[in-house]
Amino acid sequence: MNRNFDLGVVLRVIIAPALLWLGVSWLVSSLGYPDIIFATPAAWLLALPVGRSVVIRSRSERLWLRLLEAGTAGILLGFFQGATFLLIKALVLKPGLPESEIASTMGGVVLILGMLICGTLATAIGARTDRLRRIRRAGDVRLEVTSQYCPICKNPVPVSARYPRAVCEDCAAQATDEAGKPVVFFQEGLSSGLQGKYRENDEAYPAQECYIRGVRCRVEEGHLGGVVIYPLD
């Protein structure tokens, strides 16, 4: 890892998007559509992949350095896009035309705003990219869970980061003891604790394990109350 600002990765990352925007602007303008330069604000979105790439490729070991590199890359990209705006305006638009006068007024604004906005976008996406990378390295995927399924019947269930292997209500209703007798678990109040009983005669069932479709399961109190059942295997 590098303890210093990685200027090399900043320059390498912005080359492709900068040349892409320059090529598109020049090509479209040469075909008789110089108004392409007024689409420069849309090109500011190129700062998003730039910020992400910088953070991923950077050799800097400190987060603040990686974010500084991402922001610098965004600022340089915004400057290049603003400079392209002024260059196309000077080469293609004839002085005295309404478009030329508008472009002259907007040129400086686009240059300054582009640097600020591209720098901000690149830094923001860089921070998010670094955060997700650290989450993956730590093995914590809780923030990335978008769907969850019952481990026994495989039907979809509400997403729960705390209980990713909890069985669904239908499977919980099929809980039995080791001999196959139906049991049910409940919590009568916040202070009563977890309780269990046989369905057929209401006799107490003290164990905190049960079987669902032959799968041995653990029964626990939920973090905020209720009952949670999950497979032990």
Sign of CA dihedral 18, 23, 24, 28: positive
Residue 59 belongs to domain spanning: 7-143
- The CA distance from 133 to 67, in Å, is 14
Does residue 180 sit in the same domain as residue 80?
no
- 192 backbone dihedrals φ, ψ, rounded to 5°: -80, -20
Q: What is the pLDDT of residue 61?
A: 75
- How far is C-alpha 134 from the chain's CA centre? 12
Of 143, 159, 179, at which residue does a domain stop? 143
* Number of folded domains that form the chain: 2
Q: What is the pLDDT of residue 34?
A: 65
- Which of 73, 97, 89 has the alpha carbon at shortest distance from 40? 89
Does residue 64 sit in the same domain as residue 109?
yes
Query: Is residue 127 in some structural domain?
Result: yes
Does residue 37 sit in the same domain as residue 123?
yes
- The CA distance from 150 to 206, in Å, is 25
- Which of 187, 188, 151 has the alpha carbon at shortest distance from 170? 151
Q: What is the pLDDT of residue 141?
A: 47
Q: What is the pLDDT of residue 108?
A: 77
Ranges of residues in the chain with a pLDDT under 70 are 1-3, 34-35, 37-38, 92-104, 135-146, 189-192
Query: Is residue 2 in some structural domain?
Result: no
89-123 pLDDT, tens digit per residue, is 777 666 655 655 666 677 778 888 989 999 999 99
* C-alpha dist (Å) from residue 109 to 31, 78, 104, 229, 230: 26, 11, 9, 61, 59
SS3 for 98? helix
